[in-house]
Structure formats: structure tokens, C-alpha cells
Homo-oligomer: A and B are copies of this chain.
């Protein structure tokens, strides 16, 4: 049987209410009472029950994290790392992350992630290019949303974005400064805004250095064609 708030209360000679107040760092608790309670908590190795707490406070202590299945299992661990950081941070704030993947072709009427239906989360983080149909459904659900590395074309939401253009410029400029002139750009889904922006930066840097991009392409078809098939060749977007 797990240790409950009552056990702590008994041990510290106070009421459960007082223990709760101490846990929530309530002000008006005498410092002696507080330390007595904290001691009891430590000695009994007490940890509040999530369920009980959630039931009364109406907070699950969970944050949802939605990723497209093909983004998560990709070779590039980009979103994996974003998840990693998210979990690490949430841990510090005593939250859990519920990660779920959704199919890239999520259709209207498809089941929403269960944590949304059950309202078992207090907010949802969407990483990457999530299908718009899903995003709309989530918006309608009224759950707080945060977008990472992508956001829907219209609307006004909290986002965490990378300055992809600047990144593209930086990377390219660095190579140019190293004396290189024949610089390739290997991308994933070029339709993805982030990647497209990096490509913009890449081209801007080339332009600034007066390197003829178009010509380079023509001379190096062979290299480009040797890319793995799941990478889009940059020529795809050259009209």
C-alpha cells in the first residue's frame, strides 16, 4: 500500500490539509510546521498520487506531443531531439509528455489522438508539418497549442521557430569562406517551409558571392542523381 497524505499528516501531527498546503508552498504555514511536514514527507518517501491530484485539480500533469509518423522514424533525428529536450524540460516542471504519432495523411474524420479525446493533457505541442485537417480539429477542441518548426498558414499561435534563412546563409557562407564554390544543397521535403527557407538562404549566399547556381546544377547532374530516393533533388523546384 502506497504512502498517502494521511500517513504524512499523522507522522507530522498535522492535518492532511496542512500537508497539502506545505506541498503547494502556501505562505501562511509556520516554518516549524513546514519543516516538520517536509521531514515526514522525506522519511516516508511520500509522493502525491497523480490521479487523486488530477481528479480534484482538473489538471492531468501531462502535455501532449504530436509528431508525424514519418518524421519520427526518419533517419535524421531532428524531431527526436526536439522531443528529447521537451521531455527534459517538462521533467523539471513535474510534467509528463505523452508522445503520439499521427499518419502523414490524416484525414477529416480520423480519430484524434486519445489524449485529446480524453482531455488527458493540458496542452499540445505540434512538431513539424502536421496535417492541416488535424490542426483544425485541435484548434476547434480549444486545447492550448504550441507549434514547433512549423505553423499553419493562417491564424495566430504561439510558435517556436528557427531562423532558417539565416541558418542557410551561415552554412553556405562558411563553405564559401573556406574557398569552396561548388556547394550542393541536400534537402528532405522541399515543400516543408523550414527546408524551403534554408534553401532560400543558401541561394542568397551563393548570389551574394556571385556563384552561378543554375550552371552548377547542370554540371553536376550525376551527383544530384545519386542521392537516396527519399531526398528530393533540388532540381525538383527549378520549375
What residues make up the interface of A, taking CB atoms closer than 8 Å to B? 2, 45, 47-55, 60, 62, 69, 72-75, 77, 80-81, 84, 87-88, 91, 94, 96-101, 114-115, 117-120
Pairwise interchain contact A87-B60, C-beta atoms closer than 8 A = no
- Per CB-CB distance, the 5 closest pairs between chain A and chain B, nearest first, are A51-B54, A51-B55, A47-B118, A51-B51, A50-B120
Pairwise interchain contact B87-A100, C-beta atoms closer than 8 A = yes
Number of copies: 2
Pairwise interchain contact A98-B98, C-beta atoms closer than 8 A = yes
Pairwise interchain contact A119-B69, C-beta atoms closer than 8 A = no
Kindly list chain B residues whose C-beta atoms are within 8 Å of the C-beta of A114. 91, 94, 96
Q: Can you list 16 contacts pairing A with B, beta carbon distance less than 8 Å?
A: A2-B119, A47-B117, A47-B118, A48-B118, A50-B120, A51-B53, A51-B54, A62-B96, A72-B84, A75-B75, A84-B101, A87-B100, A91-B100, A91-B114, A97-B98, A97-B99
Give Cα A81–Cα B72 distance, bound, in whole angstroms.
8
Cβ-closest chain B residue relative to A59: B51
Partner of A55, one of B52, B73, B81, B88: B52
Kindly list chain B residues whose C-beta atoms are within 8 Å of the C-beta of A2. 119
Cβ-closest chain B residue relative to A45: B117
Pairwise interchain contact A99-B87, C-beta atoms closer than 8 A = yes
Partner of A81, one of B48, B60, B73, B117: B73
Kindly list chain B residues whose C-beta atoms are within 8 Å of the C-beta of A119. 2, 47
Cβ-closest chain B residue relative to A67: B84
Kindly list chain B residues whose C-beta atoms are within 8 Å of the C-beta of A94. 114
Give Cα A120–Cα B87 distance, bound, in whole angstroms.
16
Kindly list chain B residues whose C-beta atoms are within 8 Å of the C-beta of A117. 45, 47
Kindly list chain B residues whose C-beta atoms are within 8 Å of the C-beta of A60. 50-51
From known contacts A54-B51, A60-B50, A98-B96, infer whether A73 and B69 are also in contact, taking CB-CB under 8 Å: no
> Shortest Cβ distance from A34 into chain B, in angstroms?
21
